[in-house]
């Protein structure tokens, strides 16, 4: 089992042609940085591609880390000057023609990813940021509960909370993260505590357990 993430830039038409070029560069650099932040995800650096219009796609070999990888990828972009963001459909399943480039690959992971992205674009899902499908109805029902709850938390983050969460992951300690933006580690800790990160992280843990015990082969 692998994960395919297909993402769509939100309200991309607000960017000028030059800004869109910058957004594309931000997407590429944000992906590269998250590959370094989440080496355990085993993201395929060469799989990254802008597949059509405002969409981009990439492959993650360890799907139990695909969800958290996607969240931090989104954070890295929203903290940039242009503040682009994206909705994502994560599909978990098999991949066919894995040795070829992503344009020539196929399989259930791609189909689940596309179905997830199409769902998150529907009017009733416009407040959602991530949908995950695996093809297992029972697992998908649990994942829907987790992502719906986590999307609600993420949607209420302030810019300072986003920054605190991302820097904590990037630097690995409150002290180093706080020093990077010249605030006390107590202040940084308070921002993270108030963000609901502890509750969201519980969702990530449950997600990983579901993938490992129910799907990973």
Question: Hey, what domains does the chain have and what are their CATH numbers?
Answer: 2-134 (3.30.70.270)
| pLDDT of 95 | 83
Q: From CA 43, how far away is CA 68, in angstroms rounded?
A: 12
Looking up tokens 């202040």 gives 187
159, pLDDT greater than 60: yes
Strands 49-52 and 55-60: antiparallel
Average pLDDT of span 31-42: 95
**Residue 76 banded pLDDT, cuts 50, 70, 90:** very high
| pLDDT of 123 | 82
Average pLDDT of span 140-147: 95
Q: From CA 6, how far away is CA 51, in angstroms rounded?
A: 9
Average pLDDT of span 101-121: 83
Asked if residues 45 and 84 have their Cβ atoms less than 8 Å apart, the reply is: no
Count of residues making up the chain: 217
Looking up tokens 């308070």 gives 190
Strands (E), the chain: 2-9, 49-52, 55-60, 86-93, 130-133
| pLDDT of 189 | 95
103, pLDDT greater than 70: no
Average pLDDT of span 81-90: 93
Q: Percent of the chain scored above 70 by pLDDT?
A: 94
pLDDT tens digits, 114-129: 999 998 888 888 789 9
Per-residue DSSP letter, 215:
I
Average pLDDT over the chain, rounded to an integer: 91
Q: From CA 116, how far away is CA 102, in angstroms rounded?
A: 18
In sequence order, what are the beta bridge partners of 131?
89
Give the residue among 59, 79, 45, 84 at the shortest CA–CA distance from 177: 79
Instruction: Characterize 129-158 residue by residue with b for buried, 16 or more Cβ atoms within 10 angstroms of its Cβ, and e for exposed.
Output: bbbbbbbeeebbebbeebbeebbeebeebe
| pLDDT of 154 | 95
Average pLDDT of span 70-91: 94
């Amino acid at each position: 089992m692998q994960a395919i993430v297909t993402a769509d830039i939100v309200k991309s038409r607000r960017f000028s042609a030059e800004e869109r070029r910058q957004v594309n560069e931000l997407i590429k650099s944000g992906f590269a940085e998250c590959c370094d932040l989440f080496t355990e995800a085993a993201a395929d650096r060469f799989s990254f591609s802008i597949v059509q219009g405002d969409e981009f796609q990439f492959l993650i070999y360890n799907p139990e880390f695909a969800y958290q990888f996607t969240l931090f990828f989104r954070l890295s972009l929203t903290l940039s000057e242009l503040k682009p963001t994206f909705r994502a459909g994560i599909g978990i399943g098999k991949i066919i023609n894995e040795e070829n480039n992503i344009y020539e690959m196929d399989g259930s992971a791609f189909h689940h990813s596309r179905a997830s992205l199409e769902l998150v674009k529907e009017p009733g899902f416009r407040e959602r940021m991530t949908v995950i499908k695996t093809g297992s109805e029972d697992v998908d029902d649990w994942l829907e509960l987790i992502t719906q709850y986590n999307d609600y938390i993420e949607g209420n983050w302030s810019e300072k909370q986003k920054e605190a969460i991302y820097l904590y992951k990037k630097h690995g300690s409150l002290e180093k993260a706080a020093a990077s933006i010249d605030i006390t580690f107590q202040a940084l800790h308070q921002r993270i505590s108030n963000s609901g990160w502890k509750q969201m992280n519980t969702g990530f843990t449950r997600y990983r357990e579901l993938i490992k015990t129910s799907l990973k082969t």
